[in-house]
Amino acid sequence: MRIHPRYTQRLAVTILGGATLLTLAVLVFIIVFVLEKGLPVVNFRFLLTNAEDMGRSGGIFTTLIGTIVLPLLAIIVAAPLGISTAVYLTEYTLETKVTKIIRFGTDCLAGIPSIIFGLFGFIFFVTTLGLGWSILSGGLTLAFMILPTIIRTTEEAVKAVPKSYRQVSFSLGATRWQTVKRIILPNALPGILTGIMLGIGRSIGETAAVIFTAGSSLRLPTSIFDSTRTMAVHFYILAREGLSSENAYGTAATLIIAVLAINLTAYWMMGRFIAKRS
C-alpha cells in the first residue's frame, strides 16, 4: 500500500514533534517535581544548621561546605592544566600525530564513567598516596574528571579569537607568549569561564567518584586532609537508607538549584561570548 507523501509528511512531523515535546516535558517534570516537594523544606535554618541524627533532622550546613570546597579544589588543579593544554594545542603546534593522540586521550577521558574515577581515586589517592578519605583525594579525583571539559571549551574559545588579532600582535613585535597572555587569553576569557562553570556543575552533582575518595563524614572539615560529605552524597545516603524523605527532598532541591544556576550562568556567558564574536 502506498500512502500519499503528503500524509507521511504530516505523520512524520507529528511523531518527531511529539518525541521532542516528550523530552522537554520530562525535563520540566523532573525540575518541577523536585522543587515542589523540596522548596518548602529549604530555608536559612535548613542551610545553616548541621545535620543531626545522621541527617534525620537538622540541616545540611556541613554538606554545603563540602559541596563548595571539593569543586573549588578540583578547579584550582584542573583549570591551569586544562587551559595550558588547550593553549598549547591551538597556539603552539600544528596538527601532528602527537596532537591527535592528545585529543584522542582527552575524548576518551571524557567518556570514562564516574565509578571508574571513584575506583581509581580510591586506589591511587586514598590508598597508594596515603591521603585517606579526604577533601584532597576527592578534589584531585574530580580534577581528573573535569579536565576534558575544560580543555575542550578552552580550545573552542581560543579558536574563536579572530586570526587578525594575532597578526596585529605579531606585527607589532610581540612574542608568541606575549600574544597569548595579552591578546588571546583576555579575549577568550568568557569562553574559558564557561568551561570552568560546566566543570563546577559536573563536580557538584557527582556522587560515585566522590563517595569513595572524600568519604561521607558529616563533621565540619578543618583541613584538606579531613573527610567531607557533599550534598549529592548526603542526598544519596538519605534517599537510599530512607532516613528522612523530607530532608532528602530539601537537599535535592538545593542541589538542583545550585546546578541549574551554575549551568544557566555558563550558557549565558557562552551566548554573550558568541554574540560578541559574530
Closest to another protein by CB, 84 or 217: 84
Binding to another protein, residues 113-132 (CB under 8 A): 113-120, 122-124, 128
Please enumerate in sequence order all residues whose Cβ is within 8 A of that of 244, keeping only pairs 6 or more positions apart, or say none.
55, 56, 57, 238
Give the span between the Cα atoms of 102 and 35, in whole angstroms.
41
Nearer to another protein, 220 or 260 (CB): 260
Tell me: does residue 220 bind another protein (CB under 8 A).
Answer: no
Using rule CB under 8 A, residue 84 touches another protein? yes
Residue 261 as a binder of another protein (CB under 8 A): the answer is no
Residues 240 to 259 in contact with another protein, rule: CB under 8 A: 240, 248, 252, 255-256, 259
* Cβ–Cβ under 8 Å, residues 51 and 176: no
Told to check if 225 binds another protein by CB under 8 A, we report: no
| Residue 54 interacts with another protein (CB under 8 A): yes or no | no
Residue 19 engages another protein in binding (rule: CB under 8 A): yes
Which among 235, 212, 46, 56 has a CA at the least distance from the CA of 141? 212
Q: With CB under 8 A, what is the number of residues at the site for another protein?
A: 83
Closest CB 73 distance from another protein, rounded Å: 16
Q: Which range in 46-54, 58-66, 112-120, 185-193 contacts another protein by CB under 8 A? A: 112-120
Return the number of the residue (2 or 223) whose C-beta is nearest another protein.
Answer: 2
